Amino acid sequence: MTDLTPVRRALLSVSDKTGLIELATELAGMGVELLSTGGSAKAMREAGLTVKDVSEITEFPEMMDGRVKTLHPRVHGGLLALRDNDAHVAAMEEHGIGGIDLLVVNLYPFEETVAKGADYDTCIENIDIGGPAMIRAAAKNHGFVNVVVDVQDYAALLSELKENGGSTSYPFRQSLALTAYSRTAAYDAAVSAWMAEALAETPRRRAVAGTLAQTLRYGENPHQQAAFYVDGTNRPGVATATQHQGKELSYNNINDTDAAFELVAEFAPEDGPACAIIKHANPCGVARGATLKEAYQNAFDCDRTSAFGGIIALNQPLDKDTAEEIAKIFTEVVIAPGASDEAKAVFAAKKNLRLLTTEGLPNPKDAALTVRQVSGGLLVQDKDNGHIGIEDLKVVTKRAPTEAEMQDLLFAWKVAKHVKSNAIVYTKGRATVGVGAGQMSRVDSCRIAARKAEDMAEALGLDTPLTKGSCVASDAFFPFADGLLTAAEAGATAVIQPGGSMRDDEVIKAADEAGLAMVFTGMRHFRH
């Protein structure tokens, strides 16, 4: 093997024909012999190019609806033969195998077929077999063979060939091989994940894949390298959003923006405007309002200090009035399912603010998986898409919640689902007024949330904290009555919690003695 190897013969067989004619024309102009199959060959011939069918090489026709066409020794031998191995060269000569120096393949659109909701049989028919086999063969033999699997690499290939007089360098072929193996790995991961879901089985081996969307300046901290990969699904959110202004999103921006948008999506836009403000993946203010501006103001008034430099998510398109209100403080990112031209003009003066718009809101009830890496393995679970309606609640105290309390309890429950455990959320008038997150003790979460409400009352010039007359949600049961009593001391009048503690009777008795209304959900929302 030498560093530079010439490209004399190329096999082009692609599902996505974007750029195919331009690439083939350039290759033909360099004297490269073109081999192809089916639709790719037809397209190139119609463009006036000379192309030899693979069936001429193999002396077998395409058969079985195209399932069998490239699975042949004269194809794979041409890809796998070591050009500096005398035995390999002799075998090629004996069996009439010509070397293939360049393979250009992109695969049947399996991921796109699944994303469109195709039925089982259609998805099966869109699993490519010959393509991955050729890609893996060419990538293995990258000492001599170039393999291109992405349209965006066509320009780099042509540039390399022109720079080296029709040859490519070994480092270039190595890079192409890496991309090729990554593609087949991602493709197989998509197939196995789809089949596991279709069969409702837990696979023996779990593969996770993504496509590079951007390299990031750094990760959570400047000494950590990071990148952002997308999984190809069409779920509205940070991965599919359009960025209208501002510098590239950082690792923390992406993480927090996802948390914010998933939270605000809990509140259906047809039920009225809602706003969520996130800081370090935890909500520091969530509210509904008669207008989007009012929803933002109410969310902001929960914790104005933490909101500075935060992430804002809206459940309705951003309007001018709301944009003007948001622009009064520094905000990292605003994400919404749209924005008016007037709102965009307001933000245009805020160069450090990133505005993202999506094609809608994610459905919080959609099924999905969450994956977390631990030392030596992966933790995989269903996404927490659990929902509770008023009909699911069980009143366990002597006093039942009023209608207004019930609305606030359900609001607080939706927010608590998105707060790091141990989570306590005080709400009043469908707005958070205190949030306690990520504490080792549930009592401490109750205290912190109440203290933050006291601080905001002082900042807003209120006589009493807004926790007076509020409702409180706990993401998991109160193991003792102390946490509930702390909430009562802060002024809460009603409580929503999962129930299920060994001491539920003690907690219910304490609630009754304090005059609280309490409901059990039978469902918890740990979020670690």
Helix orientation angle between 73-80 and 130-140, rounded to the nearest 10 degrees = 30
Tell me if 473 sits within 8 A of 370, measured CB to CB.
no
Catalytic residue flag (residue 280): yes
Query: Is residue 484 helix, strand or coil?
Result: helix
Q: How far is the CA of 10 from the CAs of 27, 100, 335, 438, in angstroms?
A: 8, 6, 46, 58
Q: How many CB atoms lie within 10 A of CB 412?
A: 31
In the block, tokens 């393949």 appear at 105
What's the CA gap between 411 and 286, in Å, rounded? 9
Query: Is residue 306 helix, strand or coil?
Result: helix
63: DSSP letter: B
Structure tokens at 251: 């690792």
Q: Which positions ≥6 away from 237 have C-beta within 8 Å? A: 258, 261, 262, 358, 362
Single out the catalytic residue among 140, 244, 350, 468.
Answer: 140
Q: Which helix (H) or strand (E) holds 411?
A: helix 403-416
Structure tokens at 142: 């990258």
391 burial level (CB within 10 Å; 0-12, 13-18, 19+): exposed
Phi (first) and psi of residue 199, to 5 degrees: -95, -5
Spacing of C-alpha 343 from chain mean position:
27
What's the CA gap between 392 and 35, in Å, rounded? 64
Report CA Rg, the chain. Answer: 30
What's the CA gap between 218 and 105, in Å, rounded? 33
Comparing CA positions, the residue from 60, 34, 58 lying closest to residue 47 is: 34
Catalytic residue flag (residue 351): no
What's the CA gap between 522 and 528, in Å, rounded? 19
Single out the catalytic residue among 17, 280, 320, 468.
Answer: 280
Q: How many CB atoms lie within 10 A of CB 397?
A: 21
Q: How many CB atoms lie within 10 A of CB 335?
A: 27
SS3 string, 453-469, reads HHHHHHHHCCCCCCCCC
User: What burial letters (b/e) apply to 236-272, b meaning 16+ CB within 10 Å?
Assistant: bbbbbbeebebeebbbbbbbbbbbbbbbbbbbebeeb
Residues designated catalytic: 140, 280
